[in-house]
Structure 1
Amino acid sequence: MPKDKQDLTESDLPKLAQPAVRALRNAGITRLEEVAKLTESELKQLHGIGPTAAEQLRRAMADMGLDFSK
């Protein structure tokens, strides 16, 4: 299976707007555990991640017991 198809099937990210999806993909992020390694400020610096996407990711991480790095 091609790597990009594999990443999509293994992703546990919530449904996000395409600019946010592209921003995470370009940063090599496909899992919430990888998002949790970032501070919220670092996440928001990714071009395409706005307040809505950050909040969606925060909620999804909270559901899994994760939070942004401090």
Structure 2
Amino acid sequence: MEQTSNLPSKLSKPAMRAFTGAGYVKIEQFAELTEKEVLELHGVGPTAIVLLRQALADKGLSFRK
């Protein structure tokens, strides 16, 4: 079953692999996670957090506090 991702296209390949490997393919899923939890995924760095934060804000969402 193919899932369509709506994650920012500017994310690095390691970050995209980390997210898809963990089952995160929709930006809305990140509203259930803290920034710290996302950063714990191997291949995810500060740039990915900035991109995700902006993508969440564009949808009126944010990381869990």
Q: Is the structural similarity TM-score above 0.5?
A: yes
| TM-align CA RMSD | 0.8
User: Offset of 1:36 from its aligned partner?
Assistant: 1.1
Identity %: 50
Considering only CA atoms, is the larger Rg found in Structure 1 or Structure 2?
A: 1
Q: State yes or no: 1:53 paired with 2:48.
A: yes
Q: State yes or no: 1:35 paired with 2:35.
A: no
Alignment of 1:5-16 (within 5 A): 6-7=2-3, 10-15=4-9, 16=11
After the TM superposition, which segments of 4 or more aligned residues of structure 1 sit over 6 Å from their partners?
Answer: none
Decide which structure has greater helix share.
1
Secondary structure at the residue paired with 1:35?
helix
Q: Give the alignment's TM-score, normalised by structure 1.
A: 0.86
Q: Distance in 2 between matches of 1:47 and 1:27?
A: 10
Q: Distance in 2 between matches of 1:66 and 1:32?
A: 9
Q: Distance in 1 between matches of 2:23 and 2:7?
A: 13
Secondary structure at the residue paired with 2:56?
helix
Give the length in aligned residue pairs.
Answer: 64
Structure 1, unmatched stretches of 5+, are: none
- Aligned partner of 2:17 in structure 1 is 22
